[in-house]
Amino acid sequence: MELAVLDRLNVIEAKGPFNLELVKAGDVVQEKLDADLQAKGRWGTLLIFTESALISFEALAEVEHILKRRMAKGICPQAVALVLGPDVEGASMLSSHYLKAYTNAGINARLFEQRAAAQDWLIKEIGE
């Protein structure tokens, strides 16, 4: 998993498959970027899946738990764009599950197949 902050975008390139340990490790890395993102005001997350989106059920449950915990602490993006292209293993089977984890946490999220469209939507959602 690679994480970077580009202006007001939290860009995550996630290469699956994912297990519980990887999800927890990603959360630790993300926490190190929180102060920078929060200081920017309105920000968004661009989550790009590469190669595989496969994830264990316990890891997916942990994703939702992490998102809800972060929301409760007030550390959350204004919007999340999930990029799961047709070439990503498991995308068609799991995209709705990833989207549900975000929406269940109260986060404005949307699915995309292409990064450019996702980034355009995200920039509009977070505003100027």
Is the pLDDT reported for residue 14 higher than 80?
Answer: yes
- β-bridge pairing 2-6 and 9-15: antiparallel
The residue-averaged pLDDT of 29-48 equals 92
Give the rounded percent of residues in the chain with a pLDDT score beyond 90: 85
Q: Using CB atoms within 10 A of its CB, is residue 23 exposed (0-12), middle (13-18) or buried (19+)?
A: buried
Residues in the chain, overall count: 128
What is the predicted pLDDT for the residue at 128?
61
Burial of 126 (0-12, 13-18, 19+ CB in 10 A): buried
Mean pLDDT for the stretch of residues 11-21: 96
Token pair, residue 42, equals 């309105």
What residues make up the domain containing 82? Answer: 2-126
Q: What is the mean pLDDT of residues 31-57?
A: 93
Count: domains in the chain: 1
| Per-chain mean pLDDT for the chain | 94
Q: Judge contact between 108 and 80, C-beta under 8 A.
A: yes
Residue 87: give its domain's CATH number: 3.30.750
What is the structure's pLDDT at 1?
Answer: 85
15 closest CA partner among 79, 85, 111, 100: 85
What digits encode the pLDDT tens for the residues 58-105?
Answer: 999 999 999 999 999 999 899 999 999 999 999 999 999 999 999 999
Helix (H) or strand (E) holding 76, with range, is none
